[in-house]
Amino acid sequence: MLLTIIYLFLFGLIVGSFLNVAILRYNTGRSLAGRSGCFSCRHQLGWTELVPVISFLGQGGRCRHCGSKISWQYPLVELSTGILFALSAWKFYPYFGTVAFYCVLMAVLIFIVVHDLRHQIIANEAAYLLIGLAIISPVFRPSDLLPAGGAPAAILYGLLGGFILFAVFFALWFFSRGRWMGFGDAKLAFALGALLGPKGSADAVVVAFWLGALVGLGLIALSKIRVGKSLHRRYSIKSEVPFAPFLAAGLLLNLFFGLSVLAF
C-alpha cells in the first residue's frame, strides 16, 4: 500500500504539471501541445526546468534566464495533485479501478478550482465533466461502499443530492442576480451533491461556508493592518471571493476523512 501511495504521489506531481499548462492556456487560443516557456523572456524551457516542484525550488522561484518571478501556482498545483492522488490510493486501496477513477476526478476538480481562482470563472466543459464523473462514480466504488441497492440505488441517491444542492445554489444565484453566488458554483454544487449524496453534501456545504467566512474575515483583517499592504487588492465585506475552493475543501474533507458536522 505504501508503495502505491508513493507512486501515485509522484505521478500526481507530473499530472499537476500538465494541469498548470491547461489552466493557463484553456480558452486562450493556445494549443496544449506547445512547448512551455517563460512568460517574460519567452525562453523555451528545457527538461531540467520542468521537473515538478524541484525545478521551482532549485531556481529560487525565478526564471533561470531573465530572473523574473515564477508563480507559486506551479508547485502548489503539482503538490496538491500529488497529495490528492496519494489520498485516493490511501482511501480506496486495493481497488485500483476505484483509485484510478478518483484520480481522474481529483484532476478535474483541481483544474476547476485553480482556473476559477486565476480567471474568476468556472469552465463549463470541466464542470460538466465533473458532474458526469460524479453521477457515474458509484459504478467504480467497491461493493462494500455501496447501499443495499448497489450502484443503481447509489446513483439515484446521488442525483437526489445533486438536484437539491443545485436548487439551493441556483436560488442564491438567481435571487441575488449573481452577487452572492455564480451560476458556475451551482454546477459545482450539483457535482458535489451527486458525489456525496444529500447527507454528505450538506455536511460539505456547511464546512464550505464556514471556511469561506473564516478566510473572508481573515482577508478583511489583513487589509486593515500593515500586512494588508502586501496583498494584491484590499478586501471589504462587499469583496467577491471565489467560492469553488471552499466547496472543493468541504467535498474533500467529507470524501476522504468523513467529516460530518450535522446531526441528522
DSSP secondary-structure letter at 47?
Answer: G
pLDDT in tens, 228-243: 455 556 666 566 678 8
Contact between 102 and 91 (Cβ < 8 Å)? yes
Closest CA to 174 of 164, 186, 189: 186
pLDDT for residue 233? 62
pTM of the model: 0.89
pLDDT for residue 95? 92
* Distances in whole angstroms, Cα of residue 230 to Cα of each of 73, 117, 182, 218, 235: 18, 18, 28, 14, 12
- Distance between CA 173 and CA 176 in Å, rounded? 5
Q: Is the pLDDT of residue 140 over 80?
A: yes
91 or 181, greater pLDDT: 91
Query: Which of the four pLDDT bands, split at 50, 70 and 90, describes residue 252?
Result: very high
Query: Which of the four pLDDT bands, split at 50, 70 and 90, describes residue 24?
Result: confident
264 or 249, greater pLDDT: 249
| Cis omega (within 30 of 0) for bond into 94 | yes
pLDDT in tens, 89-118: 999 999 999 999 999 999 999 999 999 998
Q: Where is mean pLDDT largest: 11-15, 30-34, 256-260?
A: 11-15
pLDDT for residue 92? 94
Of the listed ranges 8-12, 29-33, 92-96, the least confidently predicted one is: 29-33
